[in-house]
């Protein structure tokens, strides 16, 4: 054997190193895959933690607006909504009319506010527009404070002038919102470079939080008033078009003693199960095994609402309306 010559590597040693390299790459890939899966699971949990409370709040608001609309709608006809025993699903289904218009309006206002904020943020720090922006911020702040004070006064006192619909919540929310935003602009202008301070003082943070809560409460107040007004409007429309609604014929074992304009006819057949027939009724709704009926030509000042339990003593027939 030549002592100056290195011995050749064994084939099994080369295979062992290659296998070690492949196994190390596989382990690194496995760790990367595990890390990616953990990040994905963490992201899903975060999104669920954000969406779940929002969906709960949205469902609660939909139930409230549906309840408000239904309560005012049935109150117009002289009955309480608790008599009909509507379920939670009924209120949620009836909330669509009360939610769609306020939701669209709030989103449009939000888009406009985002545009105004983007424009304001782009001109903050420009020395040529500093005086104009400062004057505008002070003017808006004073106007917002006056509008807020007027809204608070109207909440507790009857104003000597007529106010439009939704004036109180609209004035309260808009006054607080523009006042808070004008104050924020003034705080930004107070810095030398127009940048926001790194840390806001506690009193300023609490002020912004209170302003947001007041605006949210004003929006809730406005939406509740709108839902109530919508329910009353739907009832008035229903009463005007009552002649077009389905007619109802009620057969009863015993006399129901319904007053005019409901007509009572006695059935002379002795073998008949029902001995009284009532016509001149209009169908409104059915809920919790109860029929909600109105007499033809119903008027709010003189008319009555009729509630009949769905039981074997009555037979109800429906006829198409005009």
Q: What is the pLDDT of residues 198-221, one digit of tens each?
A: 677 888 889 999 999 999 999 999
Once rounded to an integer, what is the mean pLDDT over residues 182-195?
76
Once rounded to an integer, what is the mean pLDDT over residues 224-249?
91
Please give the pLDDT value at position 278.
Answer: 92
Please give the pLDDT value at position 43.
Answer: 63
Q: Using alpha carbons, select from 89, 100, 95, 106 the residue that is nearest to residue 64.
A: 95
Q: What is the pLDDT of residues 77-136, one digit of tens each?
A: 988 888 888 888 888 888 888 889 999 999 999 999 999 999 888 888 676 777 888 888
Answer with the residue of higher pLDDT: 307 or 54. Answer: 307
Please give the pLDDT value at position 34.
Answer: 47
Please give the pLDDT value at position 214.
Answer: 94
Band of pLDDT at residue 252, cut at 50, 70 and 90? very high
Band of pLDDT at residue 24, cut at 50, 70 and 90? low
Answer with the residue of higher pLDDT: 185 or 45. Answer: 185
Answer with the residue of higher pLDDT: 169 or 30. Answer: 169
Band of pLDDT at residue 47, cut at 50, 70 and 90? low
Q: Is the pLDDT of residue 301 over 60?
A: yes
Please give the pLDDT value at position 159.
Answer: 85
């Amino acid at each position: 054997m030549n002592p100056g010559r290195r011995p050749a590597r064994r084939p099994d040693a080369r295979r062992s190193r290659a296998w070690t390299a492949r196994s190390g790459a596989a382990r690194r890939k496995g760790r990367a895959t595990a890390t990616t899966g953990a990040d994905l699971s963490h992201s899903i949990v975060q999104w669920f933690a954000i969406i779940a409370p929002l969906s709960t709040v949205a469902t609660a608001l939909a139930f409230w607006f549906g309840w408000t609309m239904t309560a005012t709608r049935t109150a117009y006809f002289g009955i309480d909504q608790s008599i009909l025993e509507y379920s939670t699903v009924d209120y949620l289904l009836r909330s669509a009319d009360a939610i769609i218009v306020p939701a669209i309006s709030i989103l449009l206002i939000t888009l406009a506010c985002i545009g105004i904020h983007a424009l304001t943020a782009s001109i903050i720090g420009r020395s040529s527009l500093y005086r104009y922006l400062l004057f505008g911020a002070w003017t808006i702040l004073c106007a917002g404070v006056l509008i807020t004070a007027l809204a608070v006064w109207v909440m507790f006192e009857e104003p000597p002038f007529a106010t439009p619909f939704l004036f109180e919540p609209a004035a309260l929310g808009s006054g607080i919102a523009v006042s808070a935003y004008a104050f924020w602009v003034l705080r930004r202008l107070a810095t030398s470079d127009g940048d926001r301070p790194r840390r806001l003082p506690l009193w300023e943070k609490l002020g912004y939080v209170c302003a947001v809560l007041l605006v949210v409460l004003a929006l809730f107040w406005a939406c509740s008033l709108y839902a109530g007004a919508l329910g009353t409007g739907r009832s008035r429309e229903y009463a005007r078009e009552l002649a077009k609604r389905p007619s109802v014929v009620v057969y009863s074992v015993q006399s129901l003693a319904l007053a005019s304009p409901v007509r009572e006819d006695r059935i002379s057949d002795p073998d008949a199960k029902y001995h009284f027939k009532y016509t001149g009724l209009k169908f409104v709704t059915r809920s919790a095994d109860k029929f909600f009926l109105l007499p033809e030509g119903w008027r709010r000042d003189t008319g009555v609402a009729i509630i009949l339990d769905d039981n074997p003593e009555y037979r109800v027939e429906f006829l198409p309306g005009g």
